[in-house]
Structure 1
Amino acid sequence: MLDIADELHRWVEEGRDFAVATVVSVGGSAPRGPGAALAVDSRGTAIGSVSGGCVEGAVYDRCVQALEDGRTVLERFGYSDEDAFAVGLTCGGVIEVLVTPVGANAPGRPTFAAALSAASRGAAAAVARVARGPVELLGRALLVHPDGSYEGDLGGHPDLDRVAVDEARALLAMGRTGTVDVSEDGARCPGGLTLFVESSVPPPRMIVFGAVDFATALVRVGKFLGYQVTVCDARPVFATRARFPEADEIVVDWPHRYLRRTGTDDRTVLCVLTHDAKFDVPLLEVALRMPVAFVGAMGSHRTHRDRDRRLREVGLTERELARLRSPIGLDLGARTPEETALSIAAEIVAVREGGTGAPLTGSRTPIHRDKGGRGTEGVGTREAA
C-alpha cells in the first residue's frame, strides 16, 4: 500500500472512499512482492498493481465489492492449469492479497491517513495489519513510529498491540516488509494471527563521485531506481546544477572529506567515477571501511591494478579490498555513458538482490529470490526491502 502512498494520500485529502488490495505473501514465481498494491476509488479509478497484469481484473472486482459491503477479505490467487486466461498467475506463482475498504466512516481510516501522510513525506514509519485471523480483526491497523509510539489499535487487544509494535519496529529498523504469526494475547504463535508489517523508509542514497559525462547518465538511472542521488566533485566548474539537473544534491568538496561527514547506512551505494588516484585512493580508503551496501570504482583493468596496489600501501586489508567492485559494472559491452550507467545499475541490483548477472535463457536459477538469493518456495513470509 505504501508504494502508492502519494496518490492515496491525495485521495484521502480529497475525501474519496477507496479500497486497497495489498500483496501480503508470495510463493514461487510472482511478478510483484509483498507490499505491492492496487487501489480503486468509488468512481472506479484504479491505481497501482499487484501482479503486473495476471490477476488485476479479479483484484479490481474484489476492491469494488469491498467498497460496497465494507468487508476486509484475504484472497489467494494461484496458477490455473485448466485455463491460462482464468483468474490465476500464469507465471506459476501464488500470492495472497488483503483487500481493505477505507471509506470515510471506516474505523481505521485515520490510521491509514496518517500512514499515507508519513510515507508521502518520506518519513520512517510502519503499518502493522491483521492479515489472517478472526473476521472482526482483519484489516485492523497500527501505525508505528521509530520511537515506539503508535496510532490506532488491533481491535482492543493491548497485548496484541504491544507485540505488533515490537515486531513493526524491528522490521522498520531494517527497512523491510513481511509477516509474523502471533496469538491474540501477543505471544509468538504459528497458526494464530498473521500480522503483515509494511515499512516505509526514506529512499536509499546513491553518492556519485566524479562530475563526469558518465555520472550524468548514472544520476538519471539512479533516480529511476528510486535512490536519492548526490553528486560530489572537488572541481566547481564541473559540479554544477546545469550539468546535473536531476541530482537531489550537488556537493563541491574533496570526495573523502565529504564522505566522512555525510550520513550513510547499510543501503547506501557509492560509485567512484573519477578514476584519478589523487581522488580515488583517499576516498576508497574511507569507503571500504564503512558499512555501506556497495562500493564500485570506474577504470580499466590496468587502472584497477594500480589502484589496488596503492590501497594496499595505505593499509587496507584483503577483506576490505574484497568489497570493492572494480572495474564497476556488469559486462554488457557498454560504450556510451547511457550504456555504462545501465551496466553499473545492473551490478548494483544484482548485488542488492543476490543475482548472478548471468542470462536467464537456459538458466535454472529462480527468477524471483528472497534476500538470501534463494528462490521462493510456498506462500509465507518474504521480505521486500
Structure 2
Amino acid sequence: MTTRALDERAESLRAHRVPFVHARVVLAERPTSAKPGDEAVITPDGVIEGFVGGQCAEGTVRTQALSLLSSGDSMLLRITPNPEGEQSGKTVVHNACLSGGTLEIFLEPVLPLPLVAVLGDSPIARAMTGVAEALGYEVSTYDDADLSATDAVVVATHGKREEKTLQDAVLAGVPYVGLVASPKRGAAVVESLELTDEQRARIHYPAGLDIGARTPQEIALSVFAQMVSERPRVPRTAHAGTHPPVTEPPVTRLGVISLETETAIDPVCDMTVTISPDALHADLPDGERVWFCCPGCRREFLKHPEKYPRS
C-alpha cells in the first residue's frame, strides 16, 4: 500500500468515526524486512493495512495496538528476538519468532472526536454549537445523530419533544444526557418517563455545573464542563467502514485463551496471538482450532503435532 493510499484510508476511517491505530517504524536493526518510516493502520477488527514488518512482528503489533484502543494511550513498542529488561518509555516484547533484527514501532491511537447531539433551536442550543467547536468536539443536530456513537445528548427545546428524546438517549446508552430546564420542570419531565429509577438518575437536570451561568454562552459552557468531568476518556464509535467487528462465534481452541480479549497462545512459540480475520490458524480433525503467530509456527505444528500436547 502506497503512502498516499494509506493516508486516504486513514481519512476515510476518520470520516466514518472508526477508531484506528497508526503505526510507524522508527528503528529497524538488520536483518529485518521493515525499515524506518514504514507505516500501517490497524482497525478494531485487528486488520493491518500497510507494512511494519513480517507476520511475526505483525502479530505483536496487532495485539499491542488493539489494547491501546481501549485506553487512548500511545506506545513506543520494541520487538526483539532476544529477552531484554524493561526500558524507560518503551514496551519491550520478546518475540522468539523474529528472524533476527529488532524493531521499534510508535503506535498512536486515532480516536473520533467526542460527538454531541443537540436537540433544539433555542439560543442555548445555538450556543452549544459554538462552544463545542471551540473545544474541538463534533456537534450535530439530534435528528442527524447516530445514538450508538453519540457521547452526549443535550435537549434545549423549552418543552418540545423532550420526553421521547431523553428516553431514547438513555435506552441507547448515551453516556451523558442533559435537559436544559428549571429544576422543578426538569423533575416533572424526568418523572414522567417510562424508565427505571436508575435510568432516570442518569439524566442531568438542569444540565450543567452550577457556576452561576446566566447567558446562553455561559450555560453552554457549564454543560460542557459537566460533560468533561463525567465522560469516558475514549469516545463511543459506531463500527463503520469496510472492516466490521469480528463476529465469529467462540470455538474450542488449543492453548490458553481469553475470550474477552480474543487472544490465544501459539503452542509452538508461546506468543500471544490476537484473533482476527487474517490471523493464521489450523482446524484439527476433532474440531479444535489452533492459532499461530506466523507461517513457520503453523508448519512446525502441522509437521509434528505430537510435540505440542493439547491443553
Q: TM-score, normalised by structure 1?
A: 0.47
Summarize the Cα distance change of 1:171–1:127 in structure 2 as closer, same or farther, 3 Å threshold: same
Quick check: which has more Rg, 1 or 2? 2
Provide the residue aligned with 1:217 in structure 2: 127
The 8 Å contact of residues 6 and 49 in structure 2, kept in 1 or not, is answered as no
Secondary structure (helix, strand or coil) at the match of 1:206 reads strand
Are 1:160 and 2:57 matched, yes or no? yes
- Cα distance in structure 2, aligned partners of 1:293 and 1:118: 29
Aligned length: 212
1:351 aligns with one of 225, 230, 235: 230
1:300 and 1:281 map into 2 onto residues whose CA distance is: 15
Alignment of 1:315-326 (within 5 A): 316-326=195-205
Say whether residues 1:330 and 2:227 are aligned partners: no
Please state if 1:287 is matched with 2:169.
yes
Query: Percentage identity across aligned positions?
Result: 29
User: What is the identity, as a one-letter code, of the residue corresponding to 1:150?
Assistant: I
3-state SS of paired residue (1:159): helix
User: How far did residue 182 of structure 1 move?
Assistant: 6.1
Alpha carbons of structure 1 residues 187 and 227: separation in structure 2 relative to 1, 3 Å: farther
1:170 CA drift (Å): 4.6
Quote the Cα distance in structure 2 between the aligned partners of 1:226 and 1:281: 29
Output one character per residue of 1:250-289: Cα deviation in whole Å (capped at 9) or x when no partner. Answer: x4xxxxxx7xxx523365210011242x622222122112
Tell which has more relative contact order, 1 or 2 (C-alpha 8 A, sep 6+): 2
**Cα deviation, residue 216, structure 1:** 0.9
Task: Identify the residue that residue 362 of structure 1 maps to in structure 2.
Answer: none
What whole-Å deviation, never above 9, does each CA across 1:5-37 have from its counterpart, x for those lacking one? xxxxxxxxxxxxxxxxxxxxxxxxxxxxxxxxx
Please name the residue that 1:229 is paired with.
Answer: 139
Question: What is the match of residue 197 of structure 1?
Answer: 107
**How much has 1:224 moved relative to structure 2?**
2.3
Q: Is the 8 A contact 2:21 2:42 kept in 1?
A: yes
Gaps of 5+ in 2: 94-103, 234-311
Distance 1:118 1:140 in 2: 15
Equivalences for residues 236-275 of structure 1 within 5 A = 251=143, 262-265=145-148, 268-275=151-158
Residues in 2 aligned to 1:230 and 1:287: alpha-carbon distance in whole angstroms: 14
Q: What is the Cα-based RMSD across aligned positions, in Å?
A: 3.6
AA of the residue aligned to 2:225: A
Equivalent residue, structure 1, for 2:118: 208
1:215 positional shift: 0.8
Name structure 1 gaps, 5 residues minimum.
Answer: 1-108, 233-250, 252-257, 355-385
Q: Which residue does the alignment assign to 1:47? A: none
Structure 2 partner of 1:144 = 42
The answer (yes or no) to whether the contact 1:183–1:189 under 8 Å persists in 2 is no
Structure-2 separation of matches of 1:307 and 1:208: 18
TM-score, normalised by the number of residues in structure 2: 0.56
**Structure 1 Cα separation of the partners of residues 151 and 82 of structure 2:** 35
Q: What's the offset of the Cα at 1:336?
A: 1.1
Shift of the 157–338 alpha-carbon distance from structure 1 to 2, 3 Å rule, reads same
Residues 110 and 347 (structure 1), Cα distance of their counterparts in 2 relative to 1, 3 Å cut: same
